[in-house]
Amino acid sequence: MPLDWLPTEQTTQDATNADCRIRFSRLLPESADNQRNDHAHGTPNLSEPPRIEQDMSRLTILEFPDPRLRSKARPVTTADFTPAFQTLLDDMFETMYAAPGIGLAASQVDVHLRFMVIDISEEKNEPRVFINPEILSKDGQTTYQEGCLSVPGIFADVNRADRIRVRALDRHGEPYELDADGLLAICIQHEMDHLDGRLFVDYLSPLKRDLVKKRLAKQRRGAA
């Protein structure tokens, strides 16, 4: 399934029939000059926290093989807990719910900080913020057919731990630990991959990854 997400029939019962596709518009980093320089070199500017536009509510998703998706996000620090950061969290949830969706990692919207938002509830009333998440333990194994809006239209089976224990900070910087299983555990692992510069296609063979690149390139040519 797309774990920024669109469940397939295989996982409909776990996702409680949630339609989970997410769409974004652009989040501008720091300044226009820095944006041009960073994009020209294919790497984000991580020297200081990104400047977040206060009036934006929709964010643009980066698509494979954009090299910025391969950047490893840096930890969120005390200095990052600003009103603008809280606005970004709200905008990420708003975008996710409007899509509708259940998960979004900051790296996918060109903000290379270690945080993500998730809500797998059918009623959209269980928002979860994971800042500087780390998996403390894993147990069991399950296979889900995953996809991703950074790799549109592509799906593949991925093996992941069925149960995990994760430690993170909430949106106010308070630490907590959470035991997760099933869909929530898969979603957390998928989004954490993004923070480390990994995509679900990395679990495929090199041949299949090349086929994915060619298919996406063909799709883009057709849309041009």
Rounded CA separation 170/63 (Å): 28
Catalytic entry in 53, 122, 146, 191: 191
Cis peptide before 65 (omega within 30 of 0): yes
In the residue annotation, 94 being an active-site residue is answered as no
Find, among 32, 36, 75, the residue nearest to 53 by Cα: 32
CA gap 54, 49 in Å, rounded? 15
Backbone angles phi, psi at 115, to 5 degrees: -155, 160
| Alpha carbon distances (Å) from 194 to 54, 148, 199, 220 | 24, 10, 6, 22
Catalogue the active-site residues. Answer: 191
